[in-house]
């Protein structure tokens, strides 16, 4: 493959990663204002109730979509001329599943026997499932067309409006129920905005019933549904189990650290979402072509995650105190261990896209099922012994096992990757940065982070962790984004 073509793909991946990452990065930052208000005005119990409702919503939002977003990305990337019929047929298909998920969420929360305000808030939030499914499906279409900036604009606008309105409610003394009423209303606004962008960019969709698409959705939805069921169980069951095996206060302590991990996970998640269309097209040319692309993706993943892990471990106490206050000191050791999961999380997201791009989604489903069972078992054993730290150990252990199972299959049936070699230089640069961060612990945290980041970039350059071609490509991309500079 010509180098220019490779760099063109790299620039496109970078641009789409940036578009997908921006809302996932800035939205948690914006949400921290709301989290700060809830933690200050409603305390750890209020934050725990808020996080618990979001955990249930997170589970059922992914179930409502049947996990078909990745299928939509893959199929639209292969057949762009059928985008309208594919989106409309899948949306009708998904609305039915959303109604079922709405009823199931209300029933499950009722059966769990929470306090009335938690149940009412959950009922309100359940109605967000109806607009969420078409939003996610249009998200997949924009990703397939490498126009993810429209997704970024929509999600940023939605979150700015949601956080601003909810902040006012919390400061005025309202509880969590009005917060979720506003959240549902803003989600409807996001659906209208996303539909407007779709119409503007891709044209007016026209309904045409396609039996072949419905057959594909019917045959593939059980596989993708199982993937999201068990991956969602893995990602959300810890807070639910903690609420039942310990108490809501423990959920607040754990979720304070978990939200920071979620914000950090945004970058590798955006990266993995951005590369799926490219993985799909590379695999058409052969497994060897895909292998080279995936190896580069893993190296870039290590470059992005290692410094975050090292820096957070060193500065965890400063970070928790700055954001939540001294009342959340118990979250510091939780964060120090939990942040280690960032690296295997990034690998899991990326290797899952490899399996989907190569039509091995059934393997991904099986691994998700096994990992979900392991996670539940570990939580049952460790939460009674160690409380919120038990959740951390269960989460970290499960994601490592998940990652190993994925790579074992890819290595046996597709190709191997020199992971240690790919990780060596980024790890060395992150370790050098960590030493500097530790020496500067008494500095202002913002100044420390800025200086440490500069040291990391310098070490990456000195260790040749990135190639000169990649540096030149980034310069060209930057000049394109900021032509006047």
pLDDT digits (tens, 9 = 90+) for 409-432: 999 999 999 999 999 999 999 999
Concatenating the DSSP letter of every residue in 194-230 gives HHHHHHHHH--------HHHHHHHHHHHHHHHHHHHH
DSSP state of 416: -
Q: Is 457 exposed, middle or buried (0-12, 13-18, 19+ CB in 10 A)?
A: middle
Please write the tens of the pLDDT for every residue from 39-48: 777 766 777 7
The set of residues, in sequence order, having a beta carbon less than 8 Å from that of 166 and lying 6+ positions away, is 34, 179, 182, 183
Assess whether pLDDT exceeds 60 at residue 259. yes
Give residue 236's pLDDT. Answer: 67
- Compute the distance between CA of residue 42 and CA of residue 170 in angstroms, rounded to an integer: 8
- Compute the distance between CA of residue 319 and CA of residue 300 in angstroms, rounded to an integer: 25
Give residue 112's pLDDT. Answer: 85
CA distances 155 to 13, 148, 149, 477, Å, are: 20, 11, 10, 24
- Compute the distance between CA of residue 149 and CA of residue 355 in angstroms, rounded to an integer: 26
- Compute the distance between CA of residue 441 and CA of residue 451 in angstroms, rounded to an integer: 12
Element holding 157 (H helix, E strand): helix 149-171
Whether the predicted model's global pTM rises above the 0.75 cut? no
Average of per-residue pLDDT values in the chain: 85
* pLDDT tier at 481, thresholds 50, 70, 90: very low
* pLDDT tier at 3, thresholds 50, 70, 90: very low
Please write the tens of the pLDDT for every residue from 147-188: 878 888 898 899 889 888 888 888 887 778 888 999 999 999
On whether the CB atoms of residues 67 and 221 are closer than 8 A, the answer is yes
Q: Where are the beta strands (DSSP E) in 146-187?
A: none
Q: How many CA atoms lie within 13 A of 437 on its CB side?
A: 26
Give residue 44's pLDDT. Answer: 67
| Tokens encoding 186 | 């803003």
Name the maximum alpha-carbon separation found in the chain. 65
- Compute the distance between CA of residue 433 and CA of residue 461 in angstroms, rounded to an integer: 13
DSSP state of 441: T
The dihedrals phi and psi of 447, each to the nearest 5 degrees, come to: -65, -40
- Compute the distance between CA of residue 108 and CA of residue 102 in angstroms, rounded to an integer: 10
Give residue 29's pLDDT. Answer: 67
- Compute the distance between CA of residue 369 and CA of residue 380 in angstroms, rounded to an integer: 17
């Amino acid at each position: 493959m010509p180098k220019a073509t490779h760099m063109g793909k790299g620039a496109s991946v970078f641009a789409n990663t940036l578009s997908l990452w921006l809302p996932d990065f800035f939205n948690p930052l914006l949400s921290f204002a709301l989290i700060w208000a809830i933690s200050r005005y409603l305390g750890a119990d209020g934050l725990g109730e808020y996080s618990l409702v979001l955990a249930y919503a997170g589970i059922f939002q992914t179930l409502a979509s049947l996990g078909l977003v990745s299928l939509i990305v893959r199929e639209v990337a292969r057949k762009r001329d059928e985008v309208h019929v594919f989106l409309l047929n899948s949306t009708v298909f998904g609305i039915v599943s959303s109604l079922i998920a709405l009823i199931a969420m209300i029933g499950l929360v009722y059966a769990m026997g929470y306090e009335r305000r938690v149940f009412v808030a959950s009922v309100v939030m359940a109605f967000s499932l109806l607009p969420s499914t078409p939003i996610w499906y249009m998200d997949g279409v924009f990703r397939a067309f490498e126009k993810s900036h429209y997704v970024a604009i929509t999600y940023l606008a939605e979150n700015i409006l949601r956080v601003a309105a909810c902040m006012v409610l919390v400061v005025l003394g309202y509880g969590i129920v009005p917060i979720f009423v506003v959240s549902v209303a803003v989600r409807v606004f996001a659906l209208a905005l996303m539909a407007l962008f779709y119409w503007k960019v891709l044209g007016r969709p026209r309904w045409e019933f396609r039996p072949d698409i419905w057959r594909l959705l019917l045959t593939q939805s059980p596989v993708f549904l199982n993937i999201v069921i068990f991956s969602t169980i893995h990602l959300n069951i810890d807070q639910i189990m903690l609420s039942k095996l310990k108490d809501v206060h423990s959920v607040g302590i754990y979720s304070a650290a978990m939200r920071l991990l979620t914000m950090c996970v945004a970058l590798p998640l955006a990266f993995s979402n951005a590369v799926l269309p490219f993985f799909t097209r590379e695999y058409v040319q052969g497994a060897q072509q895909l292998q080279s692309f995936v190896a580069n993706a893993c190296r870039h993943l290590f470059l992005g995650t290692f410094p975050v892990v090292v820096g957070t471990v060193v500065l965890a106490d400063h970070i928790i105190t700055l954001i939540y206050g001294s009342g959340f000191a118990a979250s510091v050791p939780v964060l120090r261990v939990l942040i280690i999961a960032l690296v295997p999380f990034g690998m899991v997201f990326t290797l899952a896209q490899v399996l989907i791009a190569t039509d091995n989604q059934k393997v991904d489903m099986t691994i998700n099922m096994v990992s979900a069972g392991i996670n539940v078992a570990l939580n049952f054993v460790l939460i009674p012994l160690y409380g919120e730290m038990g959740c951390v150990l269960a989460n970290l252990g499960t994601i490592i096992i998940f990652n190993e199972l994925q790579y074992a299959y890819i290595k046996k049936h597709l190709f191997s990757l020199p992971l240690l070699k790919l990780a060596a230089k980024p790890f060395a640069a992150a370790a050098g940065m960590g030493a500097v961060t530790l020496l500067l612990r008494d500095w202002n945290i913002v100044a420390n982070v800025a200086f440490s980041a500069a040291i990391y970039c310098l070490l990456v350059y000195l260790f040749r962790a990135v190639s000169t071609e990649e540096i030149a490509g980034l310069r060209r991309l930057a000049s394109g984004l900021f032509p006047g500079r």
